[in-house]
């Protein structure tokens, strides 16, 4: 299979699943065409790619990142991350953490992958991407049908 496979498959995968443009996408400079071409060349000339993702990949799906100016979670609320040591030490901190997860779960769980998640799946399907390593707990790579996903922080869906 080739990269043209992606061009053919992408419209089928995206049919009815593309989320609306999110208010959580941070301000950014326009895409530089040379950068796009460099990425295209890199993918075309590579045989085994490991992709590492973080919060930025999910902002287009409507999940805010933490640190972006004006749109990140920290800029819009007083919610700060729970430190691991505090989580272990305090039942109150754990209860607050799980209560916030419970309240946010219905919206969070209904979030859909965006075009980038689907392109990574298709790149995996044609053998270019071997693995996606993500810091995200949203399972959007899995929803987009990527098979080889390593979730560094687990997933909000389950407690292990």
Residue tagged active-site, from 28, 121, 141, 153:
153
Per-residue pLDDT in tens (0 to 9) along the chain, 160 residues: 566 766 666 666 666 555 555 666 666 678 888 988 998 899 999 989 999 998 889 888 888 776 666 656 666 667 777 888 999 999 999 998 888 888 888 888 889 999 899 999 999 999 999 999 999 889 999 999 999 999 998 887 776 6
CB atoms within 10 A of CB 124: 22
- The H-or-E segment that residue 149 falls in is strand 149-151
Residue 156's pLDDT is what? 79
- DSSP-derived secondary structure for 73-104: HHHHSS--PPPHHHHHH-HHHHHHHHHHHHHH
Q: What is the pLDDT of residue 105?
A: 83
- Report all structural domains of the chain as residue ranges with CATH numbers, in order of start: 3-62+111-151 (3.40.50.1220)
| Paired tokens of 41 | 């060349």
Cβ burial, residue 149 (10 Å; 0-12/13-18/19+): buried
The token pair that represents 75 in the structure block: 């800029």
141 counts as catalytic: no
pTM of the model: 0.79
pLDDT digits over 117-160, tens only? 999 999 999 999 999 999 988 999 999 999 999 999 888 777 66
């Amino acid at each position: 299979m080739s990269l043209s496979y992606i061009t053919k498959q992408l419209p089928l995968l995206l049919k009815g699943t593309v989320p609306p443009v999110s208010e959580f996408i941070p301000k950014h400079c326009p895409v530089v065409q040379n950068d796009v071409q460099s990425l295209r060349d890199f993918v075309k000339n590579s045989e085994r790619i490991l992709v590492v993702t973080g919060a930025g990949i999910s902002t287009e799906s409507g999940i805010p990142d933490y640190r972006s100016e004006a749109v990140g979670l920290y800029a819009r609320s007083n919610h700060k991350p729970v430190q691991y040591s505090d989580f272990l030490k305090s039942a109150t901190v754990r209860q607050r953490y799980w209560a916030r997860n419970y309240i946010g779960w219905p919206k969070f769980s209904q979030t859909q992958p965006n075009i980038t998640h689907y392109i990574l799946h298709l790149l995996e399907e044609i053998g270019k991407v071997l693995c996606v390593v993500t810091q995200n707990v949203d399972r959007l790579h899995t929803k987009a049908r990527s098979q080889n996903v390593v979730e560094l922080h687990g997933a909000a869906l389950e407690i292990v």
